[in-house]
Structure 1
Amino acid sequence: MNKLSEIKIRIYAVEIMSHVKKSMTYKELSNELKMSAPVISRYIKGHVLPSLDRAQKIIEWFEVSYFRKMLQDEIQVKENGVIDVSFLTYDTVLQRVIAKQALNYFRNVEVTKVLTVETNGIPIALQIGNEFIVDVIIARKERQIGFEKYIEATYTLTPPTIKSLYIPKNALKKSDKVLVVDDLIRTGNTIKALVSLVNKSGATVSGIFTVIDVNQAMERLKKELNINVPMYSIVSK
C-alpha cells in the first residue's frame, strides 16, 4: 500500500466517526468502538489521525455493525422480484462511502483501470475510479458513433436474450490491471461479459466488486470463472 492510500484510509475512518456521531453520543460511540470519548473527539475535530491499524478497526466496525444494516434497509424488493437500487444513482454520500469500502477492501491490489457497464452502477464506478485515481471505462450496450474498432462480449439475460457489450479497442492496454465493478450481481452473466472484455483486450482482471450479491451469486461466479482474484460484495440479499 502506498502512502497516499494509507492516509486516505485513516481520513476515511475519521469521516466515518463524524458521520456516525450525528446519530450517537460520544459515550455511545465510545462503547461501540472500545476507545475513550476524548480520543474520539480529537479524531473528529481533526487534531490527529488514527493509526492505520486503528483506522482499519473503525472501518471494520462500520461495515459490520452499522453500514451494512443501513444499506440493507435501503434496498427494496418489488413484487415481481426486481431489486430497486435506484437510490445508488443519486445519493452521492452513499456512493462515496461505497467507493471507500472498495478502496479499503482492494487496498493491496494493483488497479490501473475500473470497468463497469452502463447501468445504475456508473456513479459508483466513477467514485471508485476517483478513489484509486484511475480512469473508468464504461462498457456500452450499443456501438458508439466515433469509434471504429471495438472489443465485443456477449451475455444472456433472463428470459433468454443474447446481448452484447462494447468497449473501444484502445480503452484497455495489456499492462492494465482492471477492477470490474457493478451495482449488483444476480446471475453473474454481466460480470462474466466484462471479464471477457478484459481478457480479449489482453489486460488482467485484478478484482471484482459489487454492492449487492443476490442469492450468493458471487460464490457461484468464483467457481465459474476459476480465476484467483479478490471478489467482494458489501451486502447479500
Structure 2
Amino acid sequence: MNRAEKAALQLQAVDVLRTLKETRTYDELAAETGLPAGDLNRYVNGHVLPGVERAKDVVGGVGREMLAEELAARIQLDRDGYVDNSQVVFDQALLDLVAPVAAEAFAFERPDVVLTAATDGITLAAAMASHFGATVAYAKKSKETAVEEFIESRQRLESGIELTYYLPARAIDTGDTVLVVDDLIRSGETQELLLDIAERAGAEVGGVFALIGVGDEGMRRAEQRVDAPVGALTRLE
C-alpha cells in the first residue's frame, strides 16, 4: 500500500466514524468500536487521522457492520418476496461510503472495469469505479443505435423467458480485470450473464459484489463460477 492509498484509507475510516457519530454519543461509539472516546473525538473532528491498521479495522469491521445494519433498515420486503431497495440505490452518498468498506471487507483486487447491468446497479457501480479509479460499464437489454460491435450474452431463465444483455465491445479490453457488481443477487442469473460477458471479452474476473444477497442460490452459483471473492454486504432469507 503506497502513501496515497494509506491516506485514502485513513480518510475513509474518518467518514465511517462520522457517519456512526450522527446517531451515537462518543461513549456509545467507543463501546461499538473498542476505541477510546478521546481518540474518536479527535478523528471525527479532524484533529488527527487514525493509524493505518486502526483504519483497516474501522473500515473493514465496524464500517461493514454499520452499513449492513443501515441497508437492512432501509430495505422493504413484501409478502411475495419482492425487494424495494430504492432508499439505498438512490442515495449516492451512502453508496460512496459502501465502496471502500466493501473493497476492504472482501479484499477485491483493484479492477480495470466495474461491470453491472442497467439500471439499479448503475449508482453502485459508479461508486465502486470511483473508489478504485476504474472505468464503469453497464450491459443493457437492448442495443445502442450508434454502437456497431457488441458482446452479447443470452440465457433462458427457469421461467422460460429468454434474457439477453448487450455490452459495447470497446467497454472491456482483453486482459482487463473486471469486478461484477449489482444492487441485488437472488437467483444469480443476471450475474452469470455479466460473467459470461466478461469471459467473452477475454477479461479476468476479480470478484462479484452485491449490496443485498437474497437467499443462498445466487451467491453459491457465483462462487462456483469464479475463482475470486464473492460477497454481499447484507443478507436476506
TM-score (norm 1): 0.92
Counting only pairs closer than 5 Å after superposition, residues 48-127 of structure 1 correspond to structure 2 as: 48-59=48-59, 60-64=61-65, 66-105=66-105, 107=107, 109-127=109-127
Query: How many Å separate the matches in 1 of 2:140 and 2:11?
Result: 35
Farther-moved stretch of structure 1 (74-83 vs 188-197): 74-83
Structure 2 SS opposite 1:163: strand
Structure 1 position 168, deviation (Å): 1.1
Structure 1 position 3, deviation (Å): 3.4
Q: Identity of aligned pairs, percent? A: 30
Residue number in structure 2 paired with 1:229: 228
Change (3 A) 1:105 1:12: same
Query: How many Å separate the matches in 1 of 2:164 and 2:150?
Result: 11
Query: How many Å separate the matches in 1 of 2:108 and 2:79?
Result: 40
Change (3 A) 1:122 1:223: closer
Structure 1 position 156, deviation (Å): 3.7
Q: CA RMSD in A?
A: 1.7
Query: How many Å separate the matches in 2 of 1:108 and 1:142?
Result: 30
Residue number in structure 2 paired with 1:160: 160
Farther-moved stretch of structure 1 (72-81 vs 179-188): 72-81
- Does 1:24 pair with 2:14? no
Which string of whole-angstrom CA distances, capped at 9 and with x for unpartnered residues, describes residues 98-136 of structure 1?
Answer: 222233235561311100000211111011111111110
Change (3 A) 1:194 1:2: farther
> How many pairs were matched up?
235
Farther-moved stretch of structure 1 (188-197 vs 72-81): 72-81
Change (3 A) 1:210 1:194: same
1:150/1:169 contact within 8 Å kept: yes
1:180/1:205 contact within 8 Å kept: yes
Query: How many Å separate the matches in 1 of 2:47 and 2:208?
Result: 36
Residue number in structure 1 paired with 2:139: 139
Change (3 A) 1:32 1:175: same
Residue number in structure 2 paired with 1:37: 37
Residue number in structure 2 paired with 1:195: 195
Query: How many Å separate the matches in 1 of 2:21 and 2:234?
Result: 23
Structure 2 gaps of 5+ residues are: none
Query: How many Å separate the matches in 2 of 1:168 and 1:22?
Result: 43
Structure 1 position 200, deviation (Å): 0.5
Structure 1 position 155, deviation (Å): 2.7
- Does 1:130 pair with 2:98? no
Which string of whole-angstrom CA distances, capped at 9 and with x for unpartnered residues, describes residues 26-54 of structure 1?
Answer: 12212222222221111111121111211
Query: How many Å separate the matches in 1 of 2:154 and 2:82?
Result: 22
Query: How many Å separate the matches in 2 of 1:36 and 1:93?
Result: 27
Structure 1 position 231, deviation (Å): 0.8
Query: How many Å separate the matches in 2 of 1:166 and 1:222?
Result: 20
Change (3 A) 1:219 1:167: closer
Structure 1 SS opposite 2:171: coil
TM-score (norm 2): 0.92
Which string of whole-angstrom CA distances, capped at 9 and with x for unpartnered residues, describes residues 164-190 of structure 1?
Answer: 111111211112100001111111011
